[in-house]
Amino acid sequence: MPSLSALVLLGASLVATTHAIGPDCVNGPLKSNKICDVKATPSQRAAALVAAMETQEKLNNLMSKSKGVPRLGLPAYNWWGEALHGVAGAPGINFTGQYSTATSFPMPLLMSAAFDDDLVHDIGNIIGNEARAFGNGGVAPVDYWTPDINPFRDPRWGRGSETPGEDITRIKGYTKSLLSGLEGDKAQRKIIATCKHYVGYDMESWGGTDRHHFDAKINVQDLAEYYMQPFQQCARDSKVGSFMCSYNAVNGVPTCADTYVLQTILRDHWNWTDSNNYITSDCEAVEDISLNHKYAKTNAEGTAMAFNAGMDNSCEYSGSSDIPGAWNQKLMNISIVDRALMRQYEGLVRAGYFDGAVATYAGLGVKDINTKEAQRLSLQVAAEGLVMLKNDKTLPLPLTVGAKVAMVGFWANDSSKLSGIYSGPAPYLHSPVYAGKQLSLNMAVASGPVLQNSSARDNWTTNALNAAQGSDYILYFGGLDTSAAAEGSDRNSISWPMAQVDLITKLAKLGKPLVVVVLGDMMDNSPLLSMKGVNSIVWANWPGQDGGSAVMQVLSGAMAVAGRLPITQYPANYTKLSMLDMNLRAGANSPGRTYRWFNAAVQPFGFGLHYTTFAARFGSGKGLTLNIQDLMHNCTKQYLDMCDIPALEVAVTNKGNATSDFVALAFIKGEAGPKPYPLKTLVSYARLREIAGSQTKVAALKLTLGSLARVDPSGNTVMYPGEYSLLLDEPTQAVLKLTITGKQTLLDEWPQPPSNATSYRR
């Protein structure tokens, strides 16, 4: 979705109530309408409101900047809220007065690197509390278009750090935990979360094609196994409040006009059928149907296609769909209009929008923004997510009071670089230099370059070398900022900018302990991994409001490092592969995508070093035999892939002295089912906390039938009997033989695309 620099007011016609959201159900014109009757069912309440509207009033409320109905006392409402990693700028949000800041957590990719779903839930709870507080204060809606859960398929994608990474198991775990925190566990929703961008959206602009024109060619197997799976978690399993259809087309059909995507799969197959579940377009995507995809002859026709296919709200800046034209030309009827309005307003009913002071979450307010708990969690997750990629025992550093430290690099003392995209104004932004001052370090500070610019005058090397020569330790804060890629732009290179490599090389030749802390999207670290004078490398992505403090706590050893890469670190020449190639499996023109199909990573998904040595083993070393039919016999789950399997017990021993967390990762590998076979697949994970020296801790890694299954070429999820291996850790520390017996069993039959949609075939 497009980010905006300008913030606009939620709507001038908000009516004053005990809480600033919603209509006045006590003294206003709607007080006698059933929409205000808290004892009526949500569907009855929404139906009463829609029935009271005249036709033109209905049409006025089918877009993100809904005009409301002044005649009825229904205020204007802007559906466009953002809260990717904290409440963020959007047309529906006004940062003002007591609502001028919001907690800014790290970008989702770094939070995902912690592999700590309990922590993700707690962060979702904080974001949900603050988002609802903004809504209760009348400066924001109660629906937010977050999270972004498209798999991070290609390292060049400008929005990849908005996501939890490349692996489906990790994305689903993160999404499940985040949504439960955002929306809450009550009958009413705290906020309405929105899973986006549905589906096949993971590029901005590359090779002359942009997201508004891109037609993603995806075969059924990849669609069902990979691109759709995070959204299955949202719809079928988490029952999220809303979805967003994406700009792109899939196999020739724009997603916002695709009945196969919006109806056959989302609503019919995944049973996302509650009458409060609404679908919004991405912003301006409705116009793309005719203007860019040429799927409709006119905007009116494209608008009607989207609403008829199941979209319920057109997100727009100022007006890009043609709802009046679609209506006047009789391209959509009143039942479609009413259906869309029912879904939208019942969604608001279920979020307590019409309930004033008696709404479940009406008590959330200014006191719930930037709490001590929010501050603690923002620091904790930033530290937990840091990933150490190289260390020759230089780290942790003895950063005692007065230690002479060179703080070099473009973000060493620039707090504006910490937050990444889709960030609201944070209550504070603590840079590494700020954190160094709290440690009473004797710092020499020098900036540095970001991107390569041959015309730029080198005004950094002399200052950097002077700072380093007078110090005992050199900390280099480099990498990328959002100028390298962001929404609307992808990267063409995943190499380190040579201006930075040249500076690091000169610093390395000084022979002093040199630690490189990498900001932003992942690059090919090969030059630094092989450079003798670079002692340690830590990846920090975008660490949020307390990012500098988190980094310095980890570098000093106050907190031990235990994060794992949630993405593959690809070699620089990977960019030879077309970014428009959506196929996952290796082929004549592709080396494969993600750790499951690509076998030449610089550093693989799941990699991460520690300040100590861990020995990890399976609780049972004798092998494991599971019978498919026995496992299914006692299963009471609605969906067979959700049937539980006995958990995998793992034991982790700290062989050193430093107390540290450890992320246990379990993968499966085998040659059963359709070829080609994945190199390995993550099936479960858990973060074990604070394992002291010589201590052993045990975890039970949860499994389901679906986690051990494969997807066939038709998209069906199938349990195949055969011999498998379970692999523990990255790199592998232990192997457990797994024998699956019984009859081959279909767990989920995938709906086949229309017969004329040939692009779904290989």
Tell me which residues are annotated as active site: 282
653 contacts: CB under 8 Å, gap ≥ 6: 614, 615, 616, 691, 694, 695, 696
Question: 10 Å Cβ neighbour count for 577?
Answer: 18
Amino acid in the structure at residue 588 = A
Is 89 in contact with 82 (CB distance < 8 Å)?
yes
Q: How far is 737 from 744, CA to CA, in rounded Å?
A: 19
Q: How far is CA 641 from CA 292, 644, 646, 685, 708, in A?
A: 39, 8, 14, 18, 9
DSSP 661-730: EEEEEEEEEE--SSSSPPS-EEEEEEEEEEE-TT-EEEEEEEEEHHHH-EE-TTS-EEE--EEEEEEETT
Q: Which residue, among 275, 352, 247, 1, has the nearest Cα to 147 in the 3D structure?
A: 1
Q: In what order do the strands lie in the sheet with 192-198?
A: 143-144, 192-198, 242-245, 278-281
Is 528 in contact with 534 (CB distance < 8 Å)?
yes
SS3 476: strand
Q: How far is CA 352 from CA 51, 138, 233, 743, in A?
A: 20, 14, 25, 49
Q: How far is 337 from 665, CA to CA, in rounded Å?
A: 48
Strand-pair category, 514-519 with 624-627:
unpaired
Task: Please tell me what DSSP assigns to residue 198.
Answer: E
Degrees to nearest 5, angle at CA 549 with 546 and 551: 110
Burial of 533 (0-12, 13-18, 19+ CB in 10 A): middle
Give the long-range contacts of residues 86-89, CB within 8 A, separation 24 or more.
Answer: 86/127, 86/130, 86/423, 86/424, 86/426, 86/544, 87/127, 87/130, 87/131, 87/134, 87/140, 87/144, 87/424, 88/3, 88/422, 88/423, 88/424, 89/3, 89/4, 89/5, 89/7, 89/422, 89/423, 89/424
SS (H, E, C) 381-443: HHHHHCEEEEECCCCCCCCCCCCEEEEECCCCCCHHHCCCCCCCCCCCCCCHHHHHHHCCCEE
Q: How far is CA 522 from CA 95, 350, 488, 539, in A?
A: 32, 40, 18, 8
Q: How far is 563 from 388, CA to CA, in rounded Å?
A: 7
Is 394 in contact with 508 (CB distance < 8 Å)?
no
